[in-house]
Structure 1
Amino acid sequence: MDPQLSWVGPEPRGIASTITPTAGGTYTLVEEGNVENWEVYCPAEEKRVCSPYSDDGFAMYEFAFKDLKFRLPFSNLAAGVFGWLHLAPSQLHQNSLAFIRAFEILYEHGVQVTRRVAQFPLKWTRRHFDGSTDSYLTKDETLSKDERVGLDKLKKFVDSFKPTRYVTKAGAQALDSKGRPRFCQPARKDS
């Protein structure tokens, strides 16, 4: 428990990383093509996802590279999100990483960053939490015409989500207190 990380919640500080070996050991496909600009290491037993690593190193969940297919260097969009939020990549919840990746696949046609530029923190920082919520919001009236079109596409996509059925561990439809089937409605608010 590093005292410099006392601002970090107990879960990331207290739970050791679990290394899940894949068929060939640690998953190492982190960049496109046959280039080798990045090295993959398993963290030492005493390290946590929020621990600082070397100056050029950072912790990252295997899930991001193996399942979401993120590749290094991160795209301008991903690096921009990490930088804007003042977060190390592993500091974002994995669902948020999945959203960034889905957005890249659906809408981004940008060029990947090919030079070494610190656009976001490589280690966990408190800076994100020191800012107000308003500093991360964008008002509709400040969007360009193209941004409004993209936002409308994204809203239409989210509106197309179907409610999810709740099921029991046995796979049967879960019921509410009145015996009606339970559903999780997709939540979206226009603001």
Structure 2
Amino acid sequence: MIIANLRLQYIYNMVDVGNGAIPSANFMDETTKGLHGFGVLMLLNYLGIWLINMEYIVAFIIACLVSFRSLFAQREDNALKETEEQARRRRAAIGYTSRAKGFRAKARLLHETLLDTLKTWEESTRVDNELITLPRPPDGRLSVDVQEVDTWSDVSKSAHGRSDSVRTLAPQYTNEP
């Protein structure tokens, strides 16, 4: 928008508004020259709207390109993670037997095998042919059956006599005059 305003100021300074004279004869036709500035004003309004619209259109196109780029980058990252996971599973299934060269490669291989071993140890344990798994944390869904009222504890009735109960806040009506 700033660029459009600067361009309008340049065009306005280029045109002599006082007598309707314009430096270039092809810039406006003869009918608008006689209006002494009205044609220049129309031209400036048209150019202002056109330049501002072009600026917004270019900004919109750039925003679309950036969002599409981030979308494709995210898809590419997900695909890369999936291929790495498949490669790790394949190595674990066939046994990683190729010789690692260098100290860092051997240390990384040891680290990956230790992580895989500890992960399998934490997930499950076998005791006398029974698979015992670690307890899963509860999910965030409501697991109470509202239809079965008998299974609920009777908290609301036990709170009637307490001083901090909501029922004690209600006004007490008596028949006394």
TM-score range, shorter-chain basis? under 0.3
Structure with higher RCO (Cα < 8 A, 6+ apart):
1
TM-score for the superposition, normalised by structure 2: 0.14
TM-score for the superposition, normalised by structure 1: 0.14
Q: Which has the larger radius of gyration?
A: 2
